[in-house]
Structure 1
Amino acid sequence: MKPIDDSTFVARSRTGRDSGSDRESPVKRDLTRRRPRATTTTLQVQPLLLLVESFKRLNPTSLARNPVMAVVAIGTLICALYTALAFAESNGQGGFALSVTLILLATVLFANAAEAVAEARGKAHAGSLRATRGELKARRLTHSGEETVAADRLRRGDRVRVSAGELIPADGEIVQGAGSINESAVTGESAPVLREAGTDNSGVSAGTKLLSDELIVEVSVDPGESLLDRMIALVEGASRQKTPSELALSVLLSTLTLVFLIVVVTLVPMARFVGIETSTVMLVALLVCLIPTTIGGLLPAIGIAGMERAMRANLIAKSGKAVEIAGSIDTLLLDKTGTITLGDRRATEFAPCHGIDMKRLREVAGICSLEDPTPEGRSIVVLAREQGASLADEQGASLTPAEDAEVVPFSATSRVSGLDFADGRRWRKGAPNAIARQVEEAGGRLPDDYEALVERISRHGATPLAVAEGNVLLGVIALSDVIKPGIAERFMQLREMGVKTVMITGDNPITASAIAAEAGVDDYIAEATPERKLALIREEQAAGRLVAMMGDGTNDAPALAQADLGLAMNSGTQAAREAANMVDLDSDPGKLLEAVEIGKQLLITRGALTTFSLANDVAKYFVILPAIFAASVPALGGLDVLGLHSPASAVLSAVIFNALVIPALIPFALRGVRVRATGASAMLRRNLLIYGLGGLLLPFPAIKLIDLVVGLLI
């Protein structure tokens, strides 16, 4: 992170992970990460395999997971029995009973196919991942040297040696060495990234390829728990569990099914009272038409498709609940660097205090930054040399402070770093208020123009970094940051959807205010510490709001675990990845915004199709019942607005429409409803207008058209 941002500077200062040679630029990454994955989006499902899979799911165990379709399956069996009896008795009802039976069977198969298609979209990817996992070998270190073993024999705590050109055999932490790694096997991105021992950027994943140097990796997972295993389980849907909201909706659909079952049963004595004989087959068909079969058949596919969309965005959710929660988030906590800004700040100005020589400021700042691997530290050295600082000894060799001074690393507590020389000199650079406090404690006096320099740099949106030599405050360095293109528009869309955005930064309040105003966030927290993040999450949750945040360091783990949605960077530490409920394979801090959009799309799609399905049921109720009773009860003739051919054709037409609407909506369920930047009330009105009114009107012309065809055949 940036030198005065408490929450992430430790990671960045020790890794330099944003160096241009080791990592693609954020702008390029933002463009490339959105390209579709060929393995998932261009997948063509073979019809024969889909049919086989649909029949496999007719087993009672699979059907029991979907009560609505289980009722349809039971109704199919009942109709099959009555079909056999009708043909045995030759009572003339065999053809009608057989037609209803086949249509009901098709309804169940279509529902099974919807779920199978959703899972099949990821199975091609899973196949390649399984092949990658099966080929992995490891050079495990032992007391006597090393041995070559299959990767699935590795256990947590084992250490392996990986050389350039080899695949990393298991998830783990680098304990020795540094190297460039190609993670395209799991992320789809070919740009190499830098991983280094002893930093927050030391995590590695099985199946990725080491391009340079040699590493010693300590395995952090047992077989079956690696990132590859989680990805395979996710895309195959093997471990998908129903989310709380999906369970609640299932209970609602089951309740509606029970209500309509009671309604259909009560129709029997009513029909006999008016002199109408109703067959069991007709009653079963009527029940299937009235219960919410459309959403019942598509509900599993919607959930799987939501997780698959997250997978295509390189977001690994540990459960479907994580994707769903992302769509219900009320507050987003966003780090400034890498999320709101490009995260590649550069030193643009040395501003000495009154009476301080510019040359001295440049020399002290440059030498303090020689061993700072962050982009900010390197940029200070570059700017100092461009402006004439030699940063070299009498022989012309670059100074190496570690040889004659002790390096003081940055810490979240002190918020400063620097050098302690053997002769007692102390050079420091860091947050302005922290440097000022240390100067005063050393007996120094703050220059009169110091606060004005800090305020001037901050008001221009740059970050001030103070430099001191002992008890003398030399001046301020301006570190300029760049807001990501289009980020303000995305925040505006989130605001319109009712999501509050809070920028968290270690910058001083003036700089934070300038960046927040330019980015368009709703609120900001300046000079934040990890403890402040955790406290803020708890405050928001206590107010009844769902909170999301991202992080990559060990110090982020408590906040990630506390947040309702914790998004960890794959490049971060194992502690962060274990604490979070979602992992971003691209390690792109801005992906948190995309996770929210994917979650909202899942919820909106589920709501839209539920509205459409229930509206369909209401329409079918007013289409079928008048057609059945109009002949015997003339008063109901006025309600038979469609003038259907006969009661039998009315039931058949409704059952056929009920079956066909499920496959017709499968592409819609998989693609998802387009997310619009509107509030909840506006979105509800839109859904009711489009999917409610549309679901209410569509059955009338569709059933009439089918009835015309059926009337010609019977």
Structure 2
Amino acid sequence: MKQTFNVTGMSCSACSSHVEKSVAKLEGVREVSVNLLAASMKVDYDESMLTADDICRAVEHAGYGASPKDIPVSAQGRGSSCGVGCGISSAPGAKTYVNPMAGEIKNMKFRLIVSFIFMIPLMYIAMGHMMGLPVPAIFVGAENAVIFAFTQLLLTLPVVYVNRKYYINGYRMLFKGAPNMDTLIAVGSSAALVYGIFVIYQMAYGQGHGRIDLVEHYMHDLYFESAAMILTLITLGKFLETRSKGKTSEAIEKLVNLAPKTAVRIREDGSEEEIPAQNVLPGDLLLIRPGASVPVDGQVEEGHSSVDESALTGESIPVEKSKGSTVLSASINGNGALKIRAVKVGEDSTLSQIIRLVQEASASKAPIAKLADKISGIFVPTVMTIALAAFLIWFFIIGESFSFALSIGIAVLVISCPCALGLATPVAIMVGTGKGAQYGVLIKSGDALETAHKVDTVVLDKTGTITMGKPRVTDILPSGNFDPDTFIQICASLEQLSEHPLAGAVLSYAKEKKLSLLPVDHFQAVPGRGIRGDINGHHYIAGNLKFLEEEHIQGISQNDDNSPWLEAGNRLSGEGKTPLYFACDNAMAGIIAAADVVKPTSAAAIKALKHMGIKVVMLTGDNQRTARAVGKIVGADTVISDVLPQDKEKEVRQLQEKGQCVAMVGDGINDAPALTRADVGIAIGAGMDVAIESADIVLMKSDLLDAVTAIQLSKAVIRNIKENLFWAFFYNSLGIPLAAGLLYPLLGLKLNPMIGAAAMSFSSVCVVTNALRLKFFKPKGIDSTEDCAPSGQTAEAKVTTIFQDKAPLGGSTQNLAPGNFSDENIIEKNESEESVMEKTMMIEGMMCNHCVAHVTKALNGIDGVSAVVSLEDKNAKLTLTKDVPDDVLIKAVTDAGYEVTAVR
């Protein structure tokens, strides 16, 4: 069981360290992490040995409060509290951001106002005469000494009372043997207060017994103003610190407030009704008017519009949506009206998943934080020992006055509060993960955020990561007898009855060109070869080279070394493309080449990674020829080809064994083992459900440039944390000796307790302010306009250029990226191709990515089977390294709860 708890009463990193130790001692606890900033605790424990109540009791026994917290939060307001610097109103349909620190800030503000109201006249009475200010005669002279002192006491008591929290917490933790920051404040101010009362008694005794010398001596030993000033300045620092903390969660706040209050549901009779957004159920038909926010994840049933998804994915350009498109919750509709079918609602929506991810990451603890925790655990007892030793040395050994020694001890106590140490890491992580969310980079933990800055090797899956993941038409080479549009129309008409994957690419291109399809007579598919059919009285053949040779098509014979068609086909194959040959009435009609094209930003991302000194490895199951072509285009350092899905994890492990820190970037489904093995797993794509399980970082836009952003953000956050820790350590290293009076014998420098309190508060505010600088983070050295097309052209424009060239062989789209890539960087695995068998299994019943995960797990659990499951195509592509009967495969899927309709 992994559970999150709210923890109350913590004031410094010594507190969080003590809570961690108390819970870690429980039998059954595997791991515990306490976050001071978020006032939360994550516990991984064996629920058969331990309950949540046991954990809460352990925290309470340590002197703090604890209660379980439900992390999942509905974007529509079903949840009660986000828990990490933000909250969501529990009112139905609410989208209002509720700051959980609001009550604390309000209380602090009241305490601060009261403290200043009484502290200002106190300071005037106590120190006005030193500054030459007019002081009422009733407070001047030895004869008025008791009035002078007693008035200060009366003005100090309200300040002590409203800030009694420091005394309650501080002394409770002291008696439990775990002193914290409150203990230092309580002991220091109590010492000043008690000594002041002792002085009043001495002066009263002196006045009553005619000892004016005693009265005059003690008149200048009052420390009431120091006690009041310490409490006031500490509260001021805490108030400013808490207000600054609120700013660290602005990214979550913006996400939470995106969710609309209401949704327009369309009834079965066609009428419309406005309902609270949290009442939407899966399957409901909703109307999204122009300019409205989308309340849930859904699929477009009717309409066409552009939708702004920038708040979720960071993508600034609106995305076109039409029937069949997926829309995400909290995205904003453009000018067109849409009717969508609700798919994921409430806590299952993309927005809720993003919020939950950012919250969990913000509440997590990076390994670097353990350094501060270890120091803080022994820091407070050490400081108290130093303060006591300083007092004893100055009073008993050096022989200074009691008041002098006491001020030294108090100064050491109040300047040493380890607030800055406790805040150094969590504030930076909270701001960093929030900033990542704004760029569409979801970081799951502080551990991942820290590890990413050490990455020196990035392993990239090819299909769906570097490339689009689906074949697209790249080259059109019609013969002189056909104009390009006619050629495409005939080819698409012939392919419309084919089940070959590349047929879909041809049909999609024809659809983009808005070409109508022609009827086909006498259609015949020849397995492993191609197809044939009649269109408008002409006989057409389409397929691979071997098929057309068998049909004795003119100009395509292997024996003809001068065949321009063979030359074109070989060139296209060498570029990693698959040529489809078309013939009309026994003569060549042309070639269409298709390929899984490289994403426009992949080359720019790899260039940016290499500029950062990171080695880029492309890992693919494709053949050596395709791998070489894609590797040259994008400029990868090394390409490892012919790798089976189950062997990707082994390749990552081998790189790690060479001492490299590896980040694996994949689609989060068939790359799951490699993502888990890598030091940092980065999942590409909006396949949120599956990707979240295996990856440390999720890239919402499926853009490799965001992997660069993630690494740069990690470097910026870790640099910020180190700055915070340095200044926190430097401040205490400098402040404690100064407060202890080490410079007093040489330079006469002595730190007043009031100055020490101000300095301590200022250090915490500085740490939080420094962390807030991360809000201005921007990725550097990324040119998102760079792509793999010729200068000034997109991939689509390259095809158009070929269209315009009506020579029989068209043109070339070859554009190999310059670099140090060479053939020796190609690594081909030696598995025998004869031992590998491929099958396609058609599956019914899969509804979401959870279904995909279940089927993938069931099939990959069979020895010798590697499966890639597609929700869109309702099938599973199987790679078998041994002979596995079909009934075994079918049983595995059936037992998982799904139906197999065919195995090919």
Q: TM-score range by the shorter chain?
A: 0.5 to 0.7
> Are the counterparts in 2 of residues 103 and 655 from structure 1 also a CA contact under 8 Å?
yes
Partner Cα separation in structure 2 for residue 525 and residue 577 of structure 1: 26
The one-letter amino acid paired with 1:447 is Q
Q: Equivalences for 1:98-247 in 2 at 5 Å?
A: 98-119=228-249, 121-122=250-251, 125-126=254-255, 128-129=257-258, 132-139=259-266, 150-154=276-280, 158-163=282-287, 165=289, 171-172=296-297, 174=299, 180=305, 182-184=307-309, 186-187=311-312, 189=316, 191-194=318-321, 197=324, 202=326, 204-205=328-329, 209=333, 217=341, 219-220=343-344, 223-232=346-355, 240-245=362-367, 247=369
Instruction: Tell me how far 1:305 sits from its aligned partner.
Output: 0.7
Greater shift, 510-519 or 110-119, is seen at 510-519
1:36 aligned partner? none
Of 337, 347, 356, the residue aligned with 2:474 is 347
> Are the counterparts in 1 of residues 300 and 338 from structure 2 also a CA contact under 8 Å?
no
Partner Cα separation in structure 2 for residue 218 and residue 307 of structure 1: 29
Of 758, 761, 765, the residue aligned with 1:663 is 765
2:517 aligned partner? 398
Which deviations, in whole Å up to 9, do the C-alpha atoms of 1:589-613 show, x marking residues without a partner? 4322212211221122112221232
Q: What is the aligned-residue identity percentage?
A: 18
Instruction: Tell me how far 1:656 sits from its aligned partner.
Output: 3.2
Q: Aligned in 2, Cα 1:325/1:213: closer, same or farther, shift over 3 Å? A: farther
Q: Equivalences for 1:53-452 in 2 at 5 Å?
A: 71-90=180-199, 91-119=221-249, 121-122=250-251, 125-126=254-255, 128-129=257-258, 132-139=259-266, 150-154=276-280, 158-163=282-287, 165=289, 171-172=296-297, 174=299, 180=305, 182-184=307-309, 186-187=311-312, 189=316, 191-194=318-321, 197=324, 202=326, 204-205=328-329, 209=333, 217=341, 219-220=343-344, 223-232=346-355, 240-245=362-367, 247-255=369-377, 257-258=379-380, 259-271=382-394, 272-276=396-400, 277=402, 279=405, 282-290=408-416, 292-334=418-460, 347-348=474-475, 350=477, 367=493, 377=506, 398-399=517-518, 405=523, 447=558
Partner Cα separation in structure 2 for residue 242 and residue 335 of structure 1: 29
Instruction: Tell me how far 1:125 sits from its aligned partner.
Output: 1.4
> Are the counterparts in 1 of residues 241 and 764 from structure 2 also a CA contact under 8 Å?
yes
Q: Aligned in 2, Cα 1:190/1:674: closer, same or farther, shift over 3 Å? A: closer
The one-letter amino acid paired with 1:89 is F
Partner Cα separation in structure 2 for residue 668 and residue 456 of structure 1: 57
Q: Secondary structure at the match of 1:136?
A: strand
Question: Could you list the runs of 5+ residues in structure 2 that have no partner in the other structure?
Answer: 1-96, 112-162, 200-220, 782-904
Partner Cα separation in structure 1 for residue 276 and residue 391 of structure 2: 67
Partner Cα separation in structure 2 for residue 56 and residue 308 of structure 1: 30
1:14 aligned partner? none
> Are the counterparts in 2 of residues 322 and 582 from structure 1 also a CA contact under 8 Å?
yes
> Are the counterparts in 1 of residues 391 and 405 from structure 2 also a CA contact under 8 Å?
no
Q: Aligned in 2, Cα 1:290/1:577: closer, same or farther, shift over 3 Å? A: closer
Instruction: Tell me how far 1:664 sits from its aligned partner.
Output: 3.7
The one-letter amino acid paired with 1:182 is V
1:615 aligned partner? 730
Q: Aligned in 2, Cα 1:293/1:382: closer, same or farther, shift over 3 Å? A: closer
1:522 aligned partner? 637
Q: Specify which structure has the higher proportion of helix.
A: 1
> Are the counterparts in 2 of residues 463 and 507 from structure 1 also a CA contact under 8 Å?
no
Q: Aligned in 2, Cα 1:381/1:169: closer, same or farther, shift over 3 Å? A: closer
Which deviations, in whole Å up to 9, do the C-alpha atoms of 1:59-93 show, x marking residues without a partner? 7999999xxx9833332223333343244334422
Partner Cα separation in structure 1 for residue 108 and residue 350 of structure 2: 29
Instruction: Tell me how far 1:670 sits from its aligned partner.
Output: 1.3
Partner Cα separation in structure 2 for residue 225 and residue 554 of structure 1: 19
Greater shift, 442-451 or 305-314, is seen at 442-451
Q: Aligned in 2, Cα 1:210/1:465: closer, same or farther, shift over 3 Å? A: same
Q: CA RMSD in A?
A: 5.7
> Are the counterparts in 2 of residues 82 and 281 from structure 1 also a CA contact under 8 Å?
no
Partner Cα separation in structure 2 for residue 477 and residue 62 of structure 1: 74
1:599 aligns to 2:708 (yes or no): no
Q: Secondary structure at the match of 1:447?
A: coil
> Are the counterparts in 2 of residues 346 and 481 from structure 1 also a CA contact under 8 Å?
no
> Are the counterparts in 1 of residues 263 and 286 from structure 2 also a CA contact under 8 Å?
no
1:52 aligns to 2:171 (yes or no): no
> Are the counterparts in 1 of residues 423 and 768 from structure 2 also a CA contact under 8 Å?
no
Which deviations, in whole Å up to 9, do the C-alpha atoms of 1:380-405 show, x marking residues without a partner? 7599x9xxxxx99xxxx63266x875
> Are the counterparts in 2 of residues 439 and 468 from structure 1 also a CA contact under 8 Å?
yes
Which deviations, in whole Å up to 9, do the C-alpha atoms of 1:137-182 show, x marking residues without a partner? 545889x999975432356xx3122346386866556497796561
Instruction: Tell me how far 1:621 sits from its aligned partner.
Output: 4.3
Partner Cα separation in structure 2 for residue 84 and residue 515 of structure 1: 76
Task: Considering Cα pairs closer than 8 Å and 6+ residues apart, tell me whether 1 or 2 has the greater RCO.
Answer: 1
Q: Aligned in 2, Cα 1:314/1:477: closer, same or farther, shift over 3 Å? A: closer
Partner Cα separation in structure 1 for residue 185 and residue 344 of structure 2: 51
Instruction: Tell me how far 1:490 sits from its aligned partner.
Output: 0.9
Partner Cα separation in structure 2 for residue 79 and residue 250 of structure 1: 24
Instruction: Tell me how far 1:310 sits from its aligned partner.
Output: 0.9
> Are the counterparts in 2 of residues 569 and 587 from structure 1 also a CA contact under 8 Å?
yes
The one-letter amino acid paired with 1:217 is R
The one-letter amino acid paired with 1:98 is A
TM-score by length of 2: 0.51
Instruction: Tell me how far 1:456 sits from its aligned partner.
Output: 3.9
The one-letter amino acid paired with 1:464 is K
TM-score by length of 1: 0.62
2:593 aligned partner? 477
Partner Cα separation in structure 2 for residue 380 and residue 369 of structure 1: 12
Instruction: Tell me how far 1:312 sits from its aligned partner.
Output: 2.0
Q: Secondary structure at the match of 2:431?
A: helix
2:88 aligned partner? none
Partner Cα separation in structure 2 for residue 652 and residue 234 of structure 1: 43
> Are the counterparts in 2 of residues 118 and 301 from structure 1 also a CA contact under 8 Å?
yes
Question: Could you list the runs of 5+ residues in structure 1 that have no partner in the other structure?
Answer: 1-42, 386-390, 409-413, 430-434, 632-636, 638-642, 679-714
**Number of residue pairs aligned between Structure 1 and Structure 2:** 576
Instruction: Tell me how far 1:55 sits from its aligned partner.
Output: 6.1
Which deviations, in whole Å up to 9, do the C-alpha atoms of 1:466-491 show, x marking residues without a partner? 22579999867376868647545412
> Are the counterparts in 1 of residues 541 and 548 from structure 2 also a CA contact under 8 Å?
no
Partner Cα separation in structure 1 for residue 169 and residue 651 of structure 2: 43
Instruction: Tell me how far 1:421 sits from its aligned partner.
Output: 5.8
1:13 aligned partner? none
> Are the counterparts in 2 of residues 624 and 654 from structure 1 also a CA contact under 8 Å?
yes
Partner Cα separation in structure 2 for residue 193 and residue 617 of structure 1: 56
Partner Cα separation in structure 2 for residue 56 and residue 443 of structure 1: 94
> Are the counterparts in 1 of residues 193 and 224 from structure 2 also a CA contact under 8 Å?
yes
Q: Aligned in 2, Cα 1:288/1:334: closer, same or farther, shift over 3 Å? A: farther
The one-letter amino acid paired with 2:189 is A
> Are the counterparts in 1 of residues 578 and 593 from structure 2 also a CA contact under 8 Å?
yes
1:465 aligned partner? 578
